[in-house]
Amino acid sequence: MQLDVFTQIPHAFAWMTEHPPVANVLGTELDLRLFNYRDSTPLRAGQIDDEPYGGGEGMVLRVDVVAAALEAVYGGVPAHRVVALTPSGRRLEQGLVEELAAEERLTILSSRFEGFDQRIVDHLATEAVSIGPYVLSGGELPAMVLLDAVVRKLPGALAEGSAERESFSEAFEGGVEHPHYTRPAEYRGWHVPDVLLSGDHARIEEWRREQSRVRSVTR
């Protein structure tokens, strides 16, 4: 997959490229490219945003700047999916993550300050996505969330089979996973459930399914 992120802070992504899951697939299943709007802005002195029409606080990312960035990289608006990250977008859920992970090419647009000129969302992006009903200061963290969630689905990103048995997967019928425990079996009087120490794999599986079911309906 070729995944392109347009950001004002490309170096913010550096740590991700050094750690799994991104590091596991970088250069093989994943071609990650980071672009700074400032490198292709047609405006002077690296300007990329401007005051909002109608007045108000904050600066707005300009449509001509984003169009120029897409032109520089793709020669125009690309034919593949372009996700604009904004709190007002479609809520990111596992189903959307899996859809996006199946794409061969994907572009993510992030903004800062007051956000995008709406024409970017309407005409340059194919969709707007939100990582949740709260406001962050910029699109870098949302882009990293989306990147991590998508990359986990690429072959080789995780240990064999581990993405198949996790929350929201088919293994748990779209629900959340059962709890996990490890050594010690007792700590400060807090005990690991007996069934997990029983060695009876059928009972353990049944207990896990029930825990997953209860947690999925009560969360």
Ligand X SMILES: C[S@@+](CC[C@H](N)C(=O)[O-])C[C@H]1O[C@@H](n2cnc3c(N)ncnc32)[C@H](O)[C@@H]1O
Residues in touch with ligand X (CB under 6 A): 85-88, 110-112, 114-116, 130-132, 134-139, 142
Residue type (1 letter), 148: D
Residue number, 21 or 142, with CB nearest to ligand X: 142
Q: Are 1 and 25 in contact (CB under 8 A)?
A: no
**Strand pairing of 186-187 and 115-116?**
unpaired
Residue number, 134 or 187, with CB nearest to ligand X: 134
CB of 99 vs ligand X, minimal distance in Å:
17
CB of 100 vs ligand X, minimal distance in Å:
14
DSSP class per residue in 199-210: --HHHHHHHHHH
Residue number, 9 or 43, with CB nearest to ligand X: 9
Closest CB to ligand X belongs to which residue? 139
| Number of neighbours of residue 219 by Cβ within 10 angstroms | 8
Residue number, 47 or 211, with CB nearest to ligand X: 47
Residue type (1 letter), 163: A
CB of 8 vs ligand X, minimal distance in Å:
10
CB of 127 vs ligand X, minimal distance in Å:
12
Q: Are 42 and 65 in contact (CB under 8 A)?
A: yes
Dihedral sign from CA coordinates of 126, 130, 135, 140: negative
Residues 185, 187, 189, 190, Cα dihedral to 10°? -70
CB of 96 vs ligand X, minimal distance in Å:
13
Residue number, 92 or 158, with CB nearest to ligand X: 92
Q: Are 59 and 98 in contact (CB under 8 A)?
A: no
Q: Are 140 and 110 in contact (CB under 8 A)?
A: yes
CB of 89 vs ligand X, minimal distance in Å:
6
Residue number, 36 or 211, with CB nearest to ligand X: 36
